[in-house]
Each structure stands twice: as C-alpha cells, then as structure tokens.
C-alpha cells in the first residue's frame, strides 16, 4: 500500500456509493450501515474487522485485500466477486450470495448462517475450521464427495 492511503475508521450510514472505486484505503473497523454499494470495486484495501449491515453490495468486486474478522449481515451480495482475499474469521449472516464467485480466498474459521449460495462458485479456497449453519465445511465436502462419486 502507498503512503497516501486513507484511514476510514468511522460509521458510514445511508450513503450511495454506486460504482465507486476504492484503492489502497484503510477501512479497518469501519461500519457501513444501510448503504448502497452496488457495483463498487475495492482493490488492495484493508477491510479487517469491517462491518457491513443492511445494505446492497450487488455485483461488487473485491481484489487483493485483507478482510480478517469482517462481518456481513442482511446484505445483498448477489453477483459479488472476491479474488485473492483473506476472510479468516469472517461472519456472514442472513445474506443472498447467489451467483457469486470466490477465487483464491482464505475462508478459514469463517462462519455462514442463513445464507443463500445458489449458483455461487468457490475455487481454490481454504475452508479450514469454517462452518455453514453450524456444520463444519470439511464434513459437508466429505458428504458431497461420498454421494457424488
């Protein structure tokens, strides 16, 4: 990250960021509540411990970033794309993640509850100790492989 990065450590409420591009910003612990983040692009930003609640991130793109401990709740994530990101320990609850794409993502210790994942693809992801609706992902993948052999 460059020396000119901006630190955004506040609550951002009811803003419209449609199509915005964020590069090399520090959103560590920022809270986005009831915002429209439709079609945004975020690259090489720090999103550790960030919270996104009650908004839309439909078709957003995230690339090359840290998102350890991030929290997403009641957010529309349809068509979202994550690539080369660290979501270790993330909490994702009550979301529509349909038709989303996750590539080269560390999802270790992340938790997913009440999420729609229809049509979502996960490629080269680390699911170590991650859970979906309380079930370890390793068990879900093993059961899937057993049924589909």
Q: What's the whole-number mean pLDDT along residues 133-146?
A: 94
- Asked whether residue 4 is domain-assigned, the answer is no
pTM, rounded to two decimals: 0.86
The residue count of the chain comes to: 149
Q: What's the whole-number mean pLDDT along residues 3-27?
A: 79
Number of domains composing the chain: 1
The predicted pLDDT at position 10 comes to 84
- Asked whether residue 2 is domain-assigned, the answer is no
Alpha helices in the chain (DSSP H): 137-147
- Asked whether residue 18 is domain-assigned, the answer is yes
- Asked whether residue 110 is domain-assigned, the answer is yes
Look at residues 70, 117, 121 and name the one whose alpha carbon lies nearest to residue 91: 70
The predicted pLDDT at position 9 comes to 57
* pLDDT digits 0-9 by tens, 32-77: 999 999 999 999 999 999 999 999 999 999 999 999 999 999 999 9
User: Residue 87: which residues within 8 A CB-CB, separation 6 or more?
Assistant: 67, 68, 70, 105, 106, 107, 110
Q: What's the whole-number mean pLDDT along residues 80-102?
A: 95
Query: What is the Cα gyration radius of the chain?
Result: 15
* pLDDT band (50, 70, 90) for residue 115: very high
**Containing structural domain, residue 25:** 11-147
- Asked whether residue 96 is domain-assigned, the answer is yes
The predicted pLDDT at position 103 comes to 98
- Asked whether residue 5 is domain-assigned, the answer is no
- Asked whether residue 98 is domain-assigned, the answer is yes
Neighbours of 20 (CB within 10 A): 15
Mean pLDDT across the chain:
91
Cα of first residue to Cα of last residue in the chain, in angstroms, is: 45
CATH number at residue 103: 2.160.20
User: Residue 55: which residues within 8 A CB-CB, separation 6 or more?
Assistant: 32, 33, 34, 35, 36, 37, 75, 76
Residue 132 to residues 29, 38, 139: CA-CA distances in angstroms?
24, 25, 10
- Asked whether residue 59 is domain-assigned, the answer is yes
């Amino acid at each position: 990250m460059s020396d000119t990065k901006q630190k955004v450590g506040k609550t951002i409420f009811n803003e419209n960021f449609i199509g915005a591009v964020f590069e090399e910003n520090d959103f560590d612990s920022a809270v986005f509540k009831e915002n429209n983040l439709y079609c945004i692009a975020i690259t090489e930003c720090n999103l550790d411990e960030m919270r996104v609640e009650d908004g839309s991130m439909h078709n957003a793109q995230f690339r090359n970033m840290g998102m350890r401990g991030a929290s997403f709740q009641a957010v529309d994530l349809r068509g979202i794309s994550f690539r080369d990101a660290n979501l270790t320990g993330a909490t994702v609850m009550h979301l529509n993640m349909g038709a989303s794409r996750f590539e080269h993502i560390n999802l270790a210790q992340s938790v997913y509850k009440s999420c729609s994942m229809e049509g979502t693809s996960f490629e080269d992801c680390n699911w170590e100790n991650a859970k979906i609706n309380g079930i370890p992902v390793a068990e879900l993948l093993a059961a899937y492989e057993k049924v589909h052999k």
